[in-house]
Amino acid sequence: MRNYKEFFNGKKVTMLGLGLLGRGLNDAKFLAECGAILTITDLKTKEQLEPTIKKLAKYKNIKYVLGEHRLEDFRDCDFVLKAAGVPLDSIYIEEAKKNKIPVEMDESLFAKCAPNVKVVGITGTRGKTTTTYLIYEILKLAFPKKVHLGGNIKGLATLPLLKKVKEGDIVVMELSSWQLQGWGEAKICPNISVFTNLMDDHLNYYKGSVKKYFEDKAKIYTNQNKSDYLICGEKIFKQIGKVKSKKIISKKNDVPKGWKIKIKGDHNLENISYAIKIAEILGVPEKTIKKAVENFGGVEGRQEFLREYKGVKIYNDTTATTPDATIAALNSFGSNKNIVLIMGGADKNLDMGGLIKEIPKYCKKVILLAGTGTEKLGGKVDGILAKSLKEGLLEALKWVKKGDILILSPGFASFGMFKNEFDRGKQFVRLVKALK
């Protein structure tokens, strides 16, 4: 589809979910500017969504239904644009389908509307954001002005990329299991897919079913054809089985030994190996790959070095919302028992047994942030409970000495004390920077 403006102009669209992270905002702006007639509905109230709504004030073709959803808004529209976190078995999605109204999602709708572009999609429980940014940095160095970033990236919406992309461009997208539902519904796939790994996560959303979680992740390759590529991590490779596309295994040993890499840990070597494979498929010279990898300093909120304070290195790992992610962070810093860990938060119905065993190997002290998940630990982690992040940081500083590491790597979701994990990270960064 070439003329996207013509396609969206005059269309009645119900947007299910607006949110505060920027994706809903940018989709709404784009559709409103294209002349769509929008009904935006969200369970959050007008007051809660005020920062987002304020930025949409100039658009007169937007109507809001907030603090609730109404079935009537899913009966008379040209299509529904569903936010990623809304389950496919929602009664509102069922109502739209009952009335033969298409249900679209940001990234897959972009892929359907875009000119002939090459899409590189990355999924997996852990490592997908770092891998996505690495691939983007390598390709941007190799093909300036031809590469775009989209998908599950904070503050970005993919649909507005229709204004920028040209035939032959490359779009690199991080894709969560929820976003991949849209690709499955549309029966399309990225041209080159990466599936990093599968660990327990989002089991509250999937009602405890790892199988359903895997089925959504698998939509990154199920509709690929024989000219497409699927790059897999070692453990997930066997689980995937036979595919129509070219299936390639990727492992940490594929990273050349002499490269000077800034990001720590075996898990990051795996992330680099996926990026190298993609770059090779797309014909990027090794010297360009090496330069981009050696310049890459990591992603905000992922083992992000903030500062050295009185000889103590402080890191922000707020996006570690699962026990596996926190274990990976601890592994990255070695087993000198010189880590003071700030962890805890909201329950995601995940098994914490592995993390509970690993903590004593690495940590001299643990500070626990209050939350439903922390409560479920039931005293199995010997830690000091903090009622706020500020209190937690000040307590952590009492236990560190020169040469130690202080890290926020929660192992849990952020809801309760914070709006989301990015809000948690932002508050931590602000507190650390304010230390005298």
Residue written as tokens 């690709």? 183
272 and 126 assigned to the same domain? yes
- Which residue stretches of 9-164 are H helix? 23-33, 50-54, 91-98, 106-113, 128-142
Q: Please, what is the angle between helix 210-217 and helix 177-186, to 10°?
A: 60
Q: Which residues pair with 369 in a beta bridge?
A: 386
Q: How far is CA 421 from the centre of its chain?
A: 11
> What one-letter code names the amino acid at 78?
D
Given this model, what pLDDT does residue 336 score?
80
Handedness of CA 201, 236, 407, 330 (dihedral sign): positive
Tens of pLDDT, residues 215-252: 999 999 999 999 999 999 989 998 998 999 999 999 99
Single residue among 249, 277, 295 that ends a domain in this structure: 295
**Confidence category of residue 3, pLDDT binned at 50, 70, 90:** confident
What phi and psi, each to the nearest 5 degrees, are found at residue 98? -60, -35
Determine how β-strand 118-123 pairs with β-strand 147-151. Answer: unpaired
Average pLDDT over residues 27-31: 97
Is residue 156 scored above 80 in pLDDT?
yes
Given this model, what pLDDT does residue 78 score?
98
Average pLDDT over residues 83-91: 86
Handedness of CA 408, 353, 249, 188 (dihedral sign): negative
Tens of pLDDT, residues 322-342: 999 999 999 998 778 999 999
Average pLDDT over residues 201-228: 91
425 and 333 assigned to the same domain? yes
208 and 308 assigned to the same domain? no
Token pair for 342: 């700030």
210 and 244 assigned to the same domain? yes
- Sheet harboring 12-16: ordered strands across? 62-66, 37-42, 12-16, 79-82, 103-104
Is residue 169 scored above 60 in pLDDT?
yes
Q: What is the domain count for the chain?
A: 3
Q: Of 161, 171, 159, 87, which Cα lies nearest the Cα of 121?
A: 171
Tens of pLDDT, residues 243-268: 999 999 999 999 999 999 999 889 99
Domain that holds residue 115: 108-295
pLDDT, averaged across the chain: 94
81 and 140 assigned to the same domain? no
Single residue among 104, 132, 150 that ends a domain in this structure: 104
16 and 127 assigned to the same domain? no
Instruction: Round to whole Å and give the CA distance between 317 and 135.
Output: 21
116 and 200 assigned to the same domain? yes
Cβ neighbours around 10 below 10 Å, total: 12
Average pLDDT over residues 200-205: 79
Token pair for 133: 């940014």
149 and 203 assigned to the same domain? yes
Using DSSP, state whether 71 is helix, strand or coil. Answer: helix
Q: Of 129, 123, 125, 127, which Cα lies nearest the Cα of 300?
A: 129
Q: Which residues pair with 149 in a beta bridge?
A: 172
Is residue 356 scored above 80 in pLDDT?
yes
> Rounded to two decimals, what is the model's pTM?
0.86
209 and 331 assigned to the same domain? no
> DSSP states of 141-209 as a string?
HHSTTSEEEEES-TT--SGGGGGT--TT-EEEEE--HHHHHHHHHHT---SEEEE----S--TTTTTT-
Is residue 88 scored above 80 in pLDDT?
no
Tens of pLDDT, residues 364-409: 999 999 999 999 888 899 999 999 999 999 999 999 999 999 999 9
Token pair for 237: 């490779």
**Confidence category of residue 101, pLDDT binned at 50, 70, 90:** very high
Average pLDDT over residues 97-110: 96
CATH of the domain at 244: 3.40.1190.10
149 and 271 assigned to the same domain? yes
241 and 318 assigned to the same domain? no
137 and 82 assigned to the same domain? no
Determine how β-strand 312-316 pairs with β-strand 304-309. Answer: antiparallel
Given this model, what pLDDT does residue 434 score?
97
Given this model, what pLDDT does residue 2 score?
55
CATH of the domain at 347: 3.90.190.20
> DSSP states of 319-334 as a string?
T--SHHHHHHHHHHT-
Tens of pLDDT, residues 261-307: 999 889 999 999 999 999 999 999 999 999 999 999 999 999 999 99
Instruction: Round to whole Å and give the CA distance between 183 and 105.
Output: 8
